């Protein structure tokens, strides 16, 4: 039962967009594990396949070859309904653009996925998250009445409330100033350290990557390097050396 050790795994993942002369090989055989309770940052040049990898891992995009597993579940065998249920129950998302519903309050946004699924909200857990994210006084505000950082903290709370196997963030701090970025990254770090969650983010920012336990570097649809215990300096250095190799 390998599923006890990793939250998500890609094996020889290939993703080709389009066909014939216009085909783009966005992923050219990616194998990577995301251990439970681990915080991973994915980095690499624009167009290297970071979003594609994340979307394939999260079941938001089909794969052309290889396997994706979330825990013990191979996504390949799933029907559309099973895939929808898996995304809803076992995966959390935090997007660059927050993706909150503008007409709903913060608390309504946070519990929306559970409400849609007809699931009971664990009140104690909700209170824990909301307190830890510093949102208690903002729960009745709509997104337009919140700062960018507060909106992204609401999105983090929404991702956490269902206790998913893994939380994916595609440039979750891409639209935030450095103060708000720090807040959101601290929360993702705390989700791992205090709540034993598994987090994977895509980022271009060495400072954001330094919050992670390891960094996986992509180039041209392949994993080209990995760095454990990253610091801002070590990430920058590795980015530079990867550029000169190319
Ligand atoms: N829907 C699509 N149709 C065709 N090609 C696509 C599609 N989505 C992505 N691609 C191509 O696949 C490659 C990888 O794209 P991807 O979005 O994964 O890159 P990325 O590393 O996330 O880049 P960025 O840092 O700019 O977000 C690129 O060459 C891109 O043009
Ligand atoms: Mg991208």
By CB atoms closer than 10 A (0-12, 13-18, 19+), residue 39 is buried
Instruction: Give the model's confidence band at 176: pLDDT under 50 very low, under 70 low, under 90 confident, else very high.
Output: confident
Of ligand 1's listed atoms, the one at least distance from the Cα of 27 is 14
What does the pLDDT average to over 189-199? Answer: 93
Residue 245 has pLDDT above 80, yes or no: no
Instruction: Give the model's confidence band at 246: pLDDT under 50 very low, under 70 low, under 90 confident, else very high.
Output: low
Residue 11 has pLDDT above 50, yes or no: yes
Q: What is the pLDDT at residue 1?
A: 43
Q: What is the pLDDT at residue 96?
A: 84
Rounded to 5 degrees, φ, ψ at 195 are: -110, 5
What does the pLDDT average to over 114-118? Answer: 90
Q: Is 48 in the pocket of ligand 1 (CB under 6 A)?
A: yes
Ligand nearest to the CA of 95: 2
Across 55-73, b (16+ Cβ under 10 Å) vs e yields bbbbbbbebeebebbbbeb
Sequence-distant (6+) residues with CB within 8 A of 241 are: none
Residue of higher predicted confidence among 40 and 19: 40
What does the pLDDT average to over 151-167? Answer: 92
Q: What is the pLDDT at residue 95?
A: 86
Superfamily of chain region 6-245: P-loop containing nucleotide triphosphate hydrolases (3.40.50.300)
Question: 200-238, pLDDT tens digit by residue?
Answer: 999 999 999 999 999 999 999 999 999 999 999 999 999
Q: What is the pTM of this model?
A: 0.93
How far away, in angstroms, is 49 Cα from ligand 2 center? 7
What average pLDDT is seen over the chain?
93
By CB atoms closer than 10 A (0-12, 13-18, 19+), residue 50 is buried
How far away, in angstroms, is 61 Cα from ligand 2 center? 13
The DSSP result for 102-117, as a single string, is TTS-HHHHHHHHHHHT
Q: What is the pLDDT at residue 3?
A: 45
By CB atoms closer than 10 A (0-12, 13-18, 19+), residue 224 is middle
Residue of higher predicted confidence among 211 and 180: 211
């Amino acid at each position: 039962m390998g599923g006890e050790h990793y939250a998500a795994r890609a094996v020889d993942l290939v993703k080709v967009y389009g066909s014939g002369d216009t085909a783009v090989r966005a992923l050219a055989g990616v194998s990577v594990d995301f251990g439970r309770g681990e915080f991973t940052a994915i980095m690499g040049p624009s167009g290297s396949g970071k979003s594609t990898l994340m979307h394939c891992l999260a079941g938001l995009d089909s794969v052309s070859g290889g396997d994706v597993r979330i825990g013990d579940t191979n996504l390949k065998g799933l029907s559309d309904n099973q895939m929808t249920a898996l995304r809803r129950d076992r995966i959390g998302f935090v997007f660059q653009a927050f993706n909150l519903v503008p007409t709903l309050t913060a608390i309504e946004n946070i519990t929306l996925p559970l409400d849609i699924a007809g699931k009971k909200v664990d009140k104690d857990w909700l209170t824990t998250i909301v307190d830890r994210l510093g949102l208690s006084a903002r729960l009745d505000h709509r997104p337009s009445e919140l700062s960018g950082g507060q909106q992204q903290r609401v999105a983090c709370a929404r991702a956490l409330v269902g206790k998913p196997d893994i939380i994916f963030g595609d440039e979750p701090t891409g639209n935030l100033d450095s103060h708000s970025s720090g807040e959101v990254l601290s929360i993702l770090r705390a989700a791992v350290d205090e709540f034993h969650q598994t987090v994977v983010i895509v980022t271009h920012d060495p400072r954001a990557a330094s919050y992670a336990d390891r960094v996986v570097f992509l180039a041209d649809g392949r994993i080209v390097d990995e760095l454990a215990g990253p610091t801002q300096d070590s990430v920058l250095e590795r980015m530079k050396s990867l550029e000169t190799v190319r």
